[in-house]
Structure 1
Amino acid sequence: MRREIDADFLANLFDRIAILLEIKGENPFKVNAYRRAAENLRRETRDIVELYKEGKLTEIPGVGKAIAQKITEILENGKLEFYDKLTAEIPERLLSLYEVPEMGPKRIKLVWEKLGIDSVEKLEKAALEGTLRSLPGFGPKIESKILEGIMALKERRLVSRYPLGEGWDLSRIIVNRLGEFEGVVFVSPAGSLRRMKETIGDLDILVAAEKDATNKIIKAFTDLEIVEEVLLSGPTKTSIRFKGGLQGDLRIVEPSRWGTALQYFTGSQQHNISLREIALKKNLSLSEYALTDKINNKEILCSSEEEVYEKLGMSWIPPEIREGTIEINLALEGKLPRLVEVGDIEGDLQMHSTWSDGKRSIKEMAEKAYALGRSYILITDHSQGLGIAGGLSIGRLMDQWHEIDELNEIFEGKLVILKGAEVEVRTDGTLDYPDEVLERLDVVVAALHSNLRQDRGQLTERYIKAISHPLVHILAHPSGRLFGVREEANADWERIFKAAASSGTLLEINAHPSRLDLSEKKIRQAFNLGCKFVISTDAHDIHEQEYMFFGVAQARRAWLKRSDVANAQPLKSFLEQIKR
Structure 2
Amino acid sequence: MKNRELANTFYEIADLLELENVQWKPAAYRKAARGIENLTEDISDIYEREGTEGLKSITGIGSNICTHIVEYLKTGKIEKFEKLKKQSMSGASELIEIEGLGPKTIRKLHDELDIKSISDLRDAILKHKIQELEGMGEKTEQNLLEAIRNFEKSHERMQIDVAIETAEDVISYLKEQNKPDIINYAGSLRRMKETIGDIDVLAVTDNSEELIESFVNMEDIERIVSKGRTRSTVVLKNGVSVDIRVIKNESYGSAMQYFTGSKQHNIELRNIALEKGYKLSEYGLFEKESGKKIEGRSEERIYGTLGLAFIPPPLRENRSEFEAAKYDNVPDLIEVGDLRGDLHIHTDFSEGVDSIESMVSMAEEIGYDYIAITDHSRSRKVANGLSIDELKDQWKQIDDLSGKYSIKILKGSEVDILPDGNLDYPDNILDKLDIVVGAIHSGFKYPESKMTRRIISAMESEHLNILAHPSGRLIGKREGYKADFDSVFEAAARNNKILEINSQPKRLDLNDSMIIRAKKTGVKFCINSDAHGSSQMEHVRYGTGQAKRGWLTADDVVNTYTYNKLMKTFDNS
TM-score (norm 1): 0.70
Once the 2 structures are TM-superposed, how far is the Cα of residue 193 of structure 1 from its aligned partner?
0.7
* Match of residue 195 from structure 1: 191
Bigger mean CA offset, 436-445 vs 479-488? 479-488
Once the 2 structures are TM-superposed, how far is the Cα of residue 537 of structure 1 from its aligned partner?
0.4
Query: What count of residue pairs does the alignment treat as equivalent?
Result: 421
* Match of residue 549 from structure 1: 541
Distance (Å, rounded) in 2 between the aligned partners of 1:469 and 1:222: 58
Q: Within 5 Å, which residues of 2 pair with 1:373-412?
A: 373-411=367-405
Identify which of 180, 184, 188 aligns with 1:184: 180
Distance (Å, rounded) in 2 between the aligned partners of 1:312 and 1:185: 28
SS at match of 2:404: helix
Once the 2 structures are TM-superposed, how far is the Cα of residue 578 of structure 1 from its aligned partner?
1.4
* Match of residue 217 from structure 1: 211
Q: Is the 8 A contact 2:154 2:475 kept in 1?
A: no
Classify 1:437/1:159 alpha carbon distance in 2 versus 1 (closer, same or farther; 3 Å): closer
Indicate whether 1:449 and 2:445 are aligned. no
Q: Counterpart amino acid of 1:350?
A: H
Q: Within 5 Å, which residues of 2 pair with 1:435-514?
A: 435-514=427-506
* Match of residue 372 from structure 1: 366
Indicate whether 1:171 and 2:167 are aligned. yes
* Match of residue 293 from structure 2: 299
Once the 2 structures are TM-superposed, how far is the Cα of residue 324 of structure 1 from its aligned partner?
2.2
Identify which of 143, 161, 165 aligns with 2:157: 161
- Alignment deviations for residues 292-333 of structure 1 (CA, whole Å, 9 cap, x no partner): 223432223432322322332322211000112321232233
SS at match of 1:180: helix
Q: Is the 8 A contact 2:180 2:205 kept in 1?
A: yes
Distance (Å, rounded) in 2 between the aligned partners of 1:564 and 1:547: 19
Once the 2 structures are TM-superposed, how far is the Cα of residue 520 of structure 1 from its aligned partner?
1.1
Q: Is the 8 A contact 1:165 1:514 kept in 2?
A: no
Distance (Å, rounded) in 1 between the aligned partners of 2:327 and 2:515: 26
Q: Counterpart amino acid of 1:435?
A: D
Identify which of 255, 273, 279 aligns with 2:273: 279
Q: Is the 8 A contact 1:349 1:536 kept in 2?
A: yes
Q: Within 5 Å, which residues of 2 pair with 1:67-86?
A: none
Identify which of 215, 231, 235 aligns with 1:237: 231
Once the 2 structures are TM-superposed, how far is the Cα of residue 158 of structure 1 from its aligned partner?
11
Classify 1:282/1:500 alpha carbon distance in 2 versus 1 (closer, same or farther; 3 Å): same
Q: Is the 8 A contact 2:360 2:371 kept in 1?
A: yes
Q: Counterpart amino acid of 1:195?
A: R
Bigger mean CA offset, 520-529 vs 565-574? 520-529
Distance (Å, rounded) in 2 between the aligned partners of 1:158 and 1:533: 27
- Alignment deviations for residues 226-283 of structure 1 (CA, whole Å, 9 cap, x no partner): 3222111111221122334332211111122111111110011222122222222332
- Alignment deviations for residues 167-187 of structure 1 (CA, whole Å, 9 cap, x no partner): 122111112112224450111
Q: Counterpart amino acid of 2:495?
A: S
* Match of residue 340 from structure 2: 346
Distance (Å, rounded) in 1 between the aligned partners of 2:229 and 2:307: 34
SS at match of 1:356: coil
Q: Counterpart amino acid of 2:168?
A: R
Distance (Å, rounded) in 1 between the aligned partners of 2:357 and 2:212: 44
- Alignment deviations for residues 405-444 of structure 1 (CA, whole Å, 9 cap, x no partner): 1211112xx3111110001122222221101000100011
Q: Counterpart amino acid of 1:362?
A: I
SS at match of 2:403: helix
Once the 2 structures are TM-superposed, how far is the Cα of residue 534 of structure 1 from its aligned partner?
0.8
Q: Counterpart amino acid of 1:398?
A: K
* Match of residue 99 from structure 1: none
* Match of residue 355 from structure 1: 349
* Match of residue 17 from structure 1: none
Classify 1:310/1:486 alpha carbon distance in 2 versus 1 (closer, same or farther; 3 Å): same
Classify 1:531/1:345 alpha carbon distance in 2 versus 1 (closer, same or farther; 3 Å): same
Identify which of 425, 430, 433 aligns with 1:433: 425
* Match of residue 424 from structure 1: 416
Once the 2 structures are TM-superposed, how far is the Cα of residue 460 of structure 1 from its aligned partner?
1.9
Q: Counterpart amino acid of 2:180?
A: V
Q: Counterpart amino acid of 1:567?
A: N
Q: Within 5 Å, which residues of 2 pair with 1:516-555?
A: 516-555=508-547
Task: Kindly report the root-mean-square deviation, in angstroms, between the aligned alpha carbons of the 2 structures.
Answer: 1.8
SS at match of 1:477: coil
Distance (Å, rounded) in 2 between the aligned partners of 1:550 and 1:346: 16
SS at match of 2:492: helix
Once the 2 structures are TM-superposed, how far is the Cα of residue 550 of structure 1 from its aligned partner?
0.8
Once the 2 structures are TM-superposed, how far is the Cα of residue 374 of structure 1 from its aligned partner?
1.0
Classify 1:495/1:335 alpha carbon distance in 2 versus 1 (closer, same or farther; 3 Å): closer
Q: Is the 8 A contact 2:178 2:210 kept in 1?
A: no
Once the 2 structures are TM-superposed, how far is the Cα of residue 159 of structure 1 from its aligned partner?
4.5
* Match of residue 136 from structure 1: none
Distance (Å, rounded) in 2 between the aligned partners of 1:225 and 1:451: 46
Identify which of 320, 325, 328 aligns with 1:326: 320
* Match of residue 91 from structure 2: none
Q: Counterpart amino acid of 2:183?
A: V
Distance (Å, rounded) in 1 between the aligned partners of 2:303 and 2:363: 37
- Alignment deviations for residues 120-146 of structure 1 (CA, whole Å, 9 cap, x no partner): xxxxxxxxxxxxxxxxxxxxxxxxxxx
Distance (Å, rounded) in 1 between the aligned partners of 2:407 and 2:155: 45
SS at match of 2:344: strand
Classify 1:159/1:424 alpha carbon distance in 2 versus 1 (closer, same or farther; 3 Å): closer
Distance (Å, rounded) in 2 between the aligned partners of 1:183 and 1:437: 58
* Match of residue 240 from structure 2: 246
Q: Unmatched 5+ residue regions in structure 1?
A: 1-155
Indicate whether 1:570 and 2:562 are aligned. yes
Bigger mean CA offset, 230-239 vs 299-308? 299-308
Q: Counterpart amino acid of 2:165?
A: D
Classify 1:534/1:159 alpha carbon distance in 2 versus 1 (closer, same or farther; 3 Å): closer
SS at match of 1:204: strand
- Alignment deviations for residues 176-207 of structure 1 (CA, whole Å, 9 cap, x no partner): 11222445011111111110111122211111
Q: Is the 8 A contact 1:376 1:418 kept in 2?
A: yes
